Amino acid sequence: MIENTKFNAAILIIGNEILSGRTQDTNTSTLATWLNSLGVKVGEVRVIPDVEETIVSSVNLLRKNYNYVFTSGGIGPTHDDITSESVSKAFNLPYEKHEEGYKILEAYYKSGEFNDGRQKMIWMPRGANLILNPTSGAPGFYVENVFVLPGVPSILKSMLGGIKNKIVGGNPIISHTISLRTFESHIADSLTDVQNKYQDVEIGSYPFFQAGKLGVSIVMRSDDQNLINKCSSDVMSFVNDKKIEVVERD
């Protein structure tokens, strides 16, 4: 078993706008890349609607099955923002005004602008730890292993720095990609041999179209640079034997 499987996380994207197809989720990719750099592997992503029962049951299932859970969306001031209250219910904690959060927003807004809608944004589970928001004031929070973040991608991104030291992970998960001008079927058997030899490297094969030409990217992932080097070398060996053009390596 490789180091990176020791620490895992689930991502819970909360919001009808993703399920309707209106909005393209980009937070999964942001969170996964960031977690990999901290040595945490994402085991599962779920996208669910703004429905309390669904949020409560999903949070409770995932927080038991994974080291960390990251939620995105539903912590704004409008009627469809029910994540904070739902997470309170999941943990059986009172949902109430967070004193420290209140002070932060009171200082953030001009006098008279800290209205009821905005005050809703600092209602949280009792005892929640704040996640500071350097972009737009309203904080996220975490309770035990569940980190509650906003849905707006640029705001979510700006808040990750503040929780980096709360995440215990393994060695960073690194990846190496070799992109080839070939077809998957032409390399399938050779690649199976390499995968069988390096059980601890996760090897993926992904067809791509680029400038009207077909190709295949071979992606190797592990927390062990040495293992990736050896595995890449074996891939390059059959690539050279088969006289396949290498389009890119990164």
- Work out how close the CB of 178 gets to its own copies at its nearest, in angstroms, rounded to a whole number: 13
112 touches its own copies (CB under 8 A): no
Q: Does 23 bind its own copies (CB under 8 A)?
A: yes
Tell me how far the alpha carbon of residue 240 is from its chain's centroid: 36
Tell me how far CA of residue 221 lies from CA of 39, 41, 48, 199, 225, in angstroms: 12, 11, 29, 11, 9
The binding track of 32-71 with respect to its own copies, each residue x by CB under 8 A or -, is xxxxx----xxxxxxxxxx---------------------
Cα 147 to Cα 139: distance, rounded to the nearest angstrom:
11
Contact region with its own copies (CB under 8 A), list: 22-30, 92-100, 126-134, 223-231: 22-30
- Answer yes or no: are the C-beta atoms of 178 and 249 closer than 8 Å: yes
Nearest to 128 by CA among 106, 99, 163: 99
For the bound state, the minimum distance from the C-beta of residue 127 to its own copies, rounded and expressed in Å, comes to 25
Find, among 169, 147, 164, 165, the residue nearest to 63 by Cα.
147
CB of 189 to its own copies, least distance (A): 7
Specify the pairing of strand 129-133 against strand 8-14.
Answer: unpaired
Q: Which two tokens stand for residue 230?
A: 């050896």
Residue whose CB is less far from its own copies, 138 or 143: 138
Smallest separation (angstroms) from its own copies to the CB of 63: 17
Give the nearer residue to its own copies in terms of CB position, either 18 or 128. Answer: 18
Binding site residues, its own copies, CB under 8 A: 13, 15-26, 28-36, 41-50, 76-81, 115-118, 120-121, 151-152, 154, 173, 175, 177, 184-189, 191-192, 195, 202-207, 209, 219, 221
